[in-house]
Amino acid sequence: MSVPQPPEPIPGARLLFSLDPAVSHLNHGSFGAVPIGVQRAQQRLRDEMEANPLRFFTQGLVDRIAHTRRHLAGFLGAEPDGSALVGNTTTGVAVVLQSLGLQAGDEVLSTDHGYGAVSLAIQRECRRTGAVSRVLPIPLAASDEQIVQTIRAGLRPGRTRLLVVDQLTSATAKLFPAAAIVGVAREHGVPVLVDAAHAPGMLGTTVSSIGAEFWVGNLHKWAYAPRGTALLAVAPQWRDRIDPLVVSWEQDSGFPARIEWQATLDYTSWLAAPAGLFTLRSLGVDRVRAHNAALAAYGQRVVGDALGVPPGHLPDPGGPGVALRLIPLPAGTATSVDAARALQARIGERLAAEVAVMSWNGRGWLRLGGQVYNTADEYERLAVRLPALLAQR
Ligand SMILES: Cc1ncc(COP(=O)(O)O)c(C=O)c1O
């Protein structure tokens, strides 16, 4: 079968980034890439901070943070004062977990598509409180309906205190039907935490349409914000119960200020985050989404072809706009997290291509992203060179 045409490139977009031109950066999903204009905006804020630190921190910073958060929340369709800025998704998850007041006998339910660090956080909170972590297996090819059914059957009302699901999974690049899952959990009285690390900037679904009790997403991946920018949205009935990890001066100011103010930190990433949205809007939000998703799909097909994977065996993320795609690696490759990391580093060094290699349920996968700075030939070069590298074990 022939590979579909790649999307039209967005002219000049690569010039917005300071990425090393000698490398193909095909893994925007892991740590993002900050456009030069956004880096400059953050540097200007840092200059302001260093010109007069006392004034920067004591005169209006809390309000500037609130103003920024309202803007970012508006873009994501979250309630402006029902959301809090946090440093990253991992922190948002930790804030929620430690605010639940878990007790012995309670359980936290999640799926086997969950992000590794989030699973570790669940396990630690369960160990600390005597609660139990239960993980539901969900086949990679499960339909939305099957996912919802599996979750419905897995909920134990009265025991399950939290359900954690991803909006778009990291290891498997699979879109979960978050709103439908929240609906089912609500019928059973179980609150849901949606790990939406990849959603802001990539997926168009609004936070309010998902309706989860807790939703946390990174702006420092697909929304071009400086690293250290994430939004945690919390349903009204939970806002008084959510406590920060670190108690600081805004502790008595209620939600969200008490979550946001975390003592002396560099808050410039948050203040510069609107410049990331400005870049996204300047390029055209829908155009960027369509481009990135089509390019990732193209990359999946050319690399999949080169590895001899029939198109029908390439996982489909399950929805439009997804700019992450998986290709199965030959059997026996990257069967553990350590082996996956080693292969990822080897591809980076030998092929000058940064990719994500994932190990999920004992099998290895290549995860490719698409971004405005990528071009079709970067995936084509990888496709030509990868089979030989994989053949050298
Ligand atoms: C699904 C998912 N959850 C959580 C995270 C953690 O994000 P961060 O490192 O910004 O906390 C990631 C990072 O890639 C992710 O993909």
Domain identity same for 101 and 222: yes
213 in contact with ligand 1, CB cutoff 6 A: no
- pLDDT at residue 393 above 80? no
Average pLDDT over residues 337-353: 98
- pLDDT at residue 1 above 60? no
Listed residue (271, 266, 255) closest to 96, CA to CA? 255
Render pLDDT for 72-108 as a digit per residue (tens, 0 to 9): 999 999 999 999 999 999 999 999 999 999 999 999 9
CATH number at residue 314: 3.90.1150.10
Render pLDDT for 165-207 as a digit per residue (tens, 0 to 9): 999 999 999 999 999 999 999 999 999 999 999 999 999 999 9
Residue nearest to atom 14 of ligand 1 (CA): 30
Count how many domains the chain has: 2
Domain identity same for 297 and 208: no
For ligand 1, the distance from its centroid to the CA atom of residue 90, given in whole angstroms, is 6
In a domain, 11, yes or no: no
Q: Which residues pair with 362 in a beta bridge?
A: none
Percentage of the chain with pLDDT > 70?
Answer: 99
Domain identity same for 127 and 227: yes
For ligand 1, the distance from its centroid to the CA atom of residue 28, given in whole angstroms, is 12
In a domain, 128, yes or no: yes
Q: Across all residues in the chain, what is the average pLDDT?
A: 97
For ligand 1, the distance from its centroid to the CA atom of residue 84, given in whole angstroms, is 17
250 in contact with ligand 1, CB cutoff 6 A: no
Average pLDDT over residues 10-16: 96
Amino acid 249: pLDDT: 96
Render pLDDT for 194-243 as a digit per residue (tens, 0 to 9): 999 999 999 999 999 999 999 999 999 999 999 999 999 999 999 999 99
Amino acid 2: pLDDT: 65
Count of Cβ atoms closer than 10 Å to residue 154 Cβ? 17
Q: Which helix (H) or strand (E) holds 193?
A: strand 192-195
Amino acid 326: pLDDT: 98
Average pLDDT over residues 118-123: 98
Q: Are 304 and 276 in contact (CB under 8 A)?
A: no
Domain identity same for 227 and 354: no
**What range does the domain containing 197 cover?**
37-279
Average pLDDT over residues 257-281: 98
Domain identity same for 275 and 306: no
Last residue of a domain, one of 264, 279, 294: 279
Torsion of CA 64, 203, 92, 57, to 10 degrees: -10
Domain identity same for 65 and 87: yes
Residue nearest to atom 10 of ligand 1 (CA): 88
For ligand 1, the distance from its centroid to the CA atom of residue 199, given in whole angstroms, is 11
Q: What are the phi and psi torsion angles at 25 (to 5°)?
A: -95, 90
HSE at residue 174, side-chain half, CA atoms within 13 A, is 23
Domain identity same for 242 and 290: no
For ligand 1, the distance from its centroid to the CA atom of residue 48, given in whole angstroms, is 30
Amino acid 79: pLDDT: 98
Q: Which residues pair with 135 in a beta bridge?
A: 110
* DSSP three-state, residue 110: strand
Average pLDDT over residues 319-331: 95
- pLDDT at residue 125 above 80? yes
Amino acid 320: pLDDT: 86
Last residue of a domain, one of 279, 295, 326: 279
Residue nearest to atom 16 of ligand 1 (CA): 170
Domain identity same for 83 and 115: yes
Angle at CA of residue 27, ends 26 and 32, nearest 5°: 120
Measure the CA–CA gap between 352 and 211, rounded to whole angstroms: 42
Mutate to test the pocket of ligand 1, among 89, 96, 194 (most ligand atoms within 8 A of CB): 89
pTM above 0.95, yes or no: yes
